[in-house]
Structure 1
Amino acid sequence: MALTDYQKFFTGRPTQEIAKSLLGKQLVFRGGQQPTAGVIVETEAYLGEHDSASHAFNGRRTNYSESLYGNPGNIYVYQIRAHYCFDVVVQDAEEPQGVLIRAIQPTMGVDQMQENRGMKGFNISNGPGKLMAALGIQSRNLDGQPLETSPLTIELTKDYKIPREIITTSRVGVNLHGKNGKSPYRFYVKGNPYVSGLRKREMDLTTFGWKEEP
């Protein structure tokens, strides 16, 4: 089956490049009381069966992670304790690679996001579980759906924002003793205060790490 132009964005180049290219794109959810959205400021790449931090490491395949083996641009929702997290499936079908959306800067429906989280400030969406709660997603109902046609989507037609600088580091919360535990597969907008774990002295509270719009 031929891929759509939307799906093609998520394949044909290294997963790390796809993860970086999502920074500055807007993530939108239209399945709640009102639309909620945020611009992506932090991502992590997971490289499938040969990546010790991947849910598909060593060919592990379960009903729970089956969505990872779907078409590029599909949604993989999984749960860590009480928190729901969201990966974009990337690369061709049956190649279980993904990009975790780790943090967003709210742009639309901010009042609703604050109500969903019961708080204001940068902590509203500066982590993968936090951003899902802020958007209003607290189930796996979207798991396996194509981003292109689901209530949760990423707007690819334009760069909502352009990072001044992208920082590359090791991933957060993975087994550091695994062979890829310290691989540089995390990417974030330098200085953006919505990046998870960013210290106050590292925050750029003037431009939030974005280039000025022309």
Structure 2
Amino acid sequence: MKRLPLSFYARPTLEVARDLLGTLLVVDGVRGRRVGRIVEVEAYLGEHDLACHSSKGRTPRTEVMFGPAGRSYVYLIYGMHHCFNVVTDAPGVAAAVLVRGVEPVEGILPGERTDGPGRLCRVMGLNLNHNDLKLDSEGLHLLRGTPVPDARVERGPRIGVEYAGAWAAEPFRLWDRDSGHVSRFVSRRPRRRP
């Protein structure tokens, strides 16, 4: 399979987010090769998107988001969970796509959960050492996989960004509805009223 070229990421963020579904995230590290098929993502559109880290401006932490596209943005939340993003769009836009869930393909043990950004980073071995790397490197890259058909792509609001006002309701979270490796799996069954 071919690695995604850096030009893949240099497009509008929502397009990249959609096209990431079905691609393969590859991490070669001290624990060997780990491969996961991306099944859930969230798009963050830049400084005007109040849920995006870059909405607070350029900082040492967000510098990588300002480009160029095709680099990793890894950060730590709650002092214990890493989150892996791919930088997208044109230089200066400061946009990224958070990878929220992967299906195990290679090197991931049975029972290791990869639903949710913190879990997938722990299992894949991603940490701050992977921040600001080109996404076509030997140790970290993405491969073309089997695209997820449009009929299986669900869209909804991003998780954990309620502070962002109206931006929190935007349907910028995308996932493969047939995957069991999606964080906060959304049931299509209506809730019963008590």
TM-score category (smaller protein):
0.7 to 0.9
Contact 1:176 1:182 in 2 (8 A): no
RMSD: 1.9
Which whole-Å deviations, capped at 9, do the CAs of 1:146-179 have from their partners, x for residues lacking one? 01115121113xx335345100100001125523
Corresponding position of 1:162: 148
Map 1:42-61; keep pairs closer than 5 Å: 42-57=40-55, 60-61=57-58
Distance 1:17 1:129, change over 3 A: same
Aligned residues: 184
Between the aligned residues of both structures, percent identity stands at 33
Match 2:81 to one of 80, 83, 90 = 83
Mapping of residues 65-214 of structure 1, within 5 Å? 65-81=62-78, 82-111=80-109, 120=111, 124-137=113-126, 139-156=127-144, 159-163=145-149, 164-176=151-163, 178-198=165-185
The DSSP-based 3-state class of the residue aligned with 1:181 is helix
Task: Provide closer, same or farther for how the CA distance between residues 33 and 177 of structure 1 changes in structure 2, counting only shifts above 3 A.
Answer: closer
Normalising by structure 1, we get a TM-score of 0.80
Select the structure with the greater relative contact order (CA < 8 A; seq sep ≥ 6).
2
Summarize the Cα distance change of 1:28–1:95 in structure 2 as closer, same or farther, 3 Å threshold.
Answer: same
TM-score, reference length from structure 2: 0.88
Which of 14, 31, 34 aligns to 2:32? It is: 34
Please state how far the C-alpha of 1:94 moved relative to its aligned partner: 1.8
Gaps of 5+ in 2: 189-194
The gaps in structure 1 that reach 5 residues or longer are: 115-119, 203-214
The residue matched to 2:70 in structure 1 has which SS?
coil
- Structure richer in strand, relative to its length: 2
Secondary structure of the residue aligned to 2:134 is coil
Deviations 1:49-92 (A, max 9, x none): 1101000115x111011111121110000111110001100012
Tell me, in whole angstroms, the C-alpha distance in 1 between the residues paired with 2:66 and 2:164. Answer: 26
2:191 is aligned to none
Rounded Cα–Cα distance in structure 2 between residues aligned with 1:177 and 1:10: 25
